[in-house]
């Protein structure tokens, strides 16, 4: 076992969006930060969302005006600091006989438009649908409003990059297996699952940002009772070939009062979700159920002329939302807000309960600020205006033009994909490359060795799955033999 004698400021346990966001906020304030994640960054809930940055229109029904306002404010901030991975998206709400009253929708959209200042998002409106549209002929009225689409896994990785660029250490495949109180603070023991070795380090404070594992981890590592019990709610999605030609998404209202999104995804697909199922099984084995598939397929077929069959499904994914349990409330009405629980006995340990992708940044800012008394020299947070890596540009069209002038030989499809994933980091990745041959081996679907090498050396990718399903989403496009070739290359080049 390796042991270091230096005392670090902060340990963040968990490499999801909250953990990476906290590491970024703390590092940019000048703290000495270490983040550990037992698997890959965004390996669980944070890469299994609906890929949206949104205010939460449905939360208005439960009178969560504060959460909606906070979410709408964050929507504006995040769209500004990460314009390469967050883009405004129109949503259409078609009305059927069982739908919510039109006046209720209008009132909700009025609040949605006005609860927070808008610079990048259009106002809601009502539009008429014609018989030649993609929706059921019974639908004549549609409401339109705006939110944003995000690459959720890349949002996590970019926050980890932000943290690292300000001095943080990011350790993936590294599990915190014990915390011991000593005079200097918390002595943490880590198990590196890749190298199969243990190390120890000492920290003045610890943040438990392990998402669905937050209560079990707290109790296992410290033998302290958890202040909140969690309600685990599984949300599942299906991906099918694109079922409509427009750029807009749809919000479908189910008979049970829930909503399901149909979102244009990766040019060729539609992303459909989400469900809400109570979950009590193994958190490392989360899969969609047959009833969830039936639920999603049936509502799509209720609204769209072009039906969806089980055979159309090209991919599914599921994640578990760790909601703070509220006695007497159903899973749909339990708050999506978060709570921060700080214990100073014997040393500072902050546990993060709940939260959602849209509010990760403000959660991180508040979490680090709550530790201010222990770090009096800590600077103020700057994440509200600090671009995430690759997001230091204003107009996407101008960035495309600048990049295309220098690297026209890449072709428009590859340029578009790189810029929408890496933004201005694309210039760093390509460097002095002058021809397609400089990118090395092509693994398929315009995935070249140069990009793979970058993801493995700079973005903590360790397996083909890390690259294909979290860093690039190219898992939809590569054949099985191409995936195996990529896996072999990574194993040989980055053992």
Cα 75 to its chain centre, rounded Å, is: 13
State residue 3's pLDDT score.
65
Q: pLDDT digits over 393-441, tens only? A: 999 999 999 999 999 999 999 999 999 999 999 999 999 999 999 999 9
Q: Residue 235 in 3-state DSSP? A: strand
231 pLDDT more than 80: yes
Terminal Cα distance for the chain, rounded: 21
Q: pLDDT digits over 269-284, tens only? A: 999 999 999 999 999 9
Distance CA 158, CA 389 (A): 6
26 pLDDT more than 90: yes
Exposed/middle/buried for residue 409 (C-beta within 10 Å: 0-12, 13-18, 19+)? middle
CA dihedral 430, 433, 434, 435 (to 10 degrees): -90
Other Cβ atoms less than 10 A from the Cβ of 364: the count is 28
Q: Residue 334 in 3-state DSSP? A: coil
104 pLDDT more than 70: yes
Q: pLDDT digits over 278-327, tens only? A: 999 999 999 999 999 999 999 999 999 988 999 999 999 999 999 988 76
31 cis-preceded (ω within 30 degrees of 0): no
What integer is the mean pLDDT of 17-36? 98
* Contact yes or no for 7/202 (Cβ under 8 A): yes
2 pLDDT more than 80: no
State residue 326's pLDDT score.
74
- CA-wise closest residue to 461 among 144, 112, 47: 47
Looking at every residue in the chain, the average pLDDT score rounds to 95
328 pLDDT more than 80: no
Q: Which two tokens stand for residue 337?
A: 């807000």
Q: pLDDT digits over 245-276, tens only? A: 889 999 999 989 899 999 999 999 999 999 99
Q: Which residue has the tokens 């504006």?
A: 76
Of all residues in the chain, the percent with pLDDT exceeding 70 is 97
* Contact yes or no for 19/12 (Cβ under 8 A): yes
State residue 1's pLDDT score.
63
Per-residue confidence at 229, pLDDT binned at 50, 70, 90?
A: confident
4 pLDDT more than 80: no
Residue 224 has what DSSP assignment?
P
346 cis-preceded (ω within 30 degrees of 0): yes
Distance CA 76, CA 118 (A): 7
More confident residue, 488 or 140: 488
State residue 333's pLDDT score.
60
Query: What are the φ and ψ backbone dihedral angles of 151, each rounded to 5 degrees?
Result: -85, 95
Domains and CATH numbers, the chain: 2-45+154-229+335-374 (3.50.50.60), 86-149+230-324 (3.30.9.10), 396-493 (1.10.8.870)
Q: Which two tokens stand for residue 392?
A: 């230091």
Residues in the chain: 495
- CA-wise closest residue to 24 among 420, 363, 393, 421: 363
Instruction: Identify the H or E element spanning 69.
Output: helix 65-81
- CA-wise closest residue to 65 among 329, 335, 355, 366: 335
What integer is the mean pLDDT of 468-483? 98
What integer is the mean pLDDT of 378-385? 98
Runs of H (alpha helix) within 286-344:
290-303
């Amino acid at each position: 076992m390796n042991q270091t004698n230096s005392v670090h400021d902060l340990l963040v346990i968990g490499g999801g969006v909250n953990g990476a966001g906290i590491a970024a906020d703390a590092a940019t304030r000048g703290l000495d930060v270490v983040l550990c994640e037992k698997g890959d960054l965004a390996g669980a809930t944070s890469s299994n969302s609906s890929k949206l940055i949104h205010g939460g229109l449905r939360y208005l029904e439960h009178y969560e005006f504060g959460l909606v306002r906070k979410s709408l404010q964050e929507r504006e901030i995040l769209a500004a600091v990460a314009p390469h991975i967050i883009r405004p998206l129109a949503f259409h709400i078609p009305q059927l006989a069982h739908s919510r009253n039109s006046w209720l929708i209008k009132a909700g959209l009025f609040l949605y438009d006005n609860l927070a200042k808008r610079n990048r998002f259009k106002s809601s409106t009502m539009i008429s649908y014609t018989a030649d549209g993609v929706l059921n002929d019974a639908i004549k009225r549609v409401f339109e409003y705006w939110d944003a689409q995000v690459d959720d896994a890349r949002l996590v990785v970019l926050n980890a990059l932000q943290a690292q660029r300000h001095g943080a250490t990011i350790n993936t495949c590294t599990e915190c297996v014990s915390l011991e109180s000593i005079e200097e603070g918390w002595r943490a023991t880590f198990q590196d699952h890749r190298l199969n070795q243990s190390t120890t380090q000492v920290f003045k404070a610890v943040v438990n940002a392990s998402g669905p594992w937050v209560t079990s981890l707290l109790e296992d590592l410290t033998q302290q009772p958890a202040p909140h019990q969690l309600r685990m709610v599984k949300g599942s999605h299906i991906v099918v070939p694109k079922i409509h030609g427009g750029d807009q998404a749809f919000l479908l209202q189910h008979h049970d009062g829930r909503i399901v999104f149909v979102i244009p995804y990766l040019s060729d697909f539609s992303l459909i979700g989400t469900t809400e199922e109570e979950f009590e099984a193994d958190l490392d084995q989360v899969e969609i159920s047959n009833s969830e598939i039936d639920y999603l397929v049936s509502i799509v077929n209720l609204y769209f002329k072009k039906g969806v069959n089980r055979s159309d499904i090209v991919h599914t994914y599921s994640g578990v939302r760790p909601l703070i349990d509220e006695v007497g409330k159903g899973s749909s009405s339990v708050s999506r807000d978060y709570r921060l629980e700080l214990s100073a006995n014997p040393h500072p340990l902050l546990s993060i309960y709940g939260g959602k992708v849209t509010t990760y940044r403000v959660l991180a800012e508040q979490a680090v600020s709550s530790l201010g008394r222990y770090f009096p020299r800590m600077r103020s947070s700057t994440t509200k205006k600090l671009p995430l890596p690759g997001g230091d540009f204003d107009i996407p069209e101008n960035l495309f033009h600048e990049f295309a002038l220098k690297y026209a030989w890449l072709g428009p499809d590859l340029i578009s994909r790189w810029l929408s994933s890496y933004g201005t980091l694309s210039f760093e990745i390509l460097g002095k490359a002058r021809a397609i041959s400089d990118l090395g081996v092509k693994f398929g679907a315009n995935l070249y060795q140069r990009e793979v090498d970058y993801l493995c050396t700079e973005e903590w990718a360790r397996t083909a799955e890390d690259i294909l399903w979290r860093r690039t989403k190219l898992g939809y496009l590569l054949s099985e033999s191409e995936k195996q070739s990529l896996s072999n290359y990574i194993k040989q080049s980055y053992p």
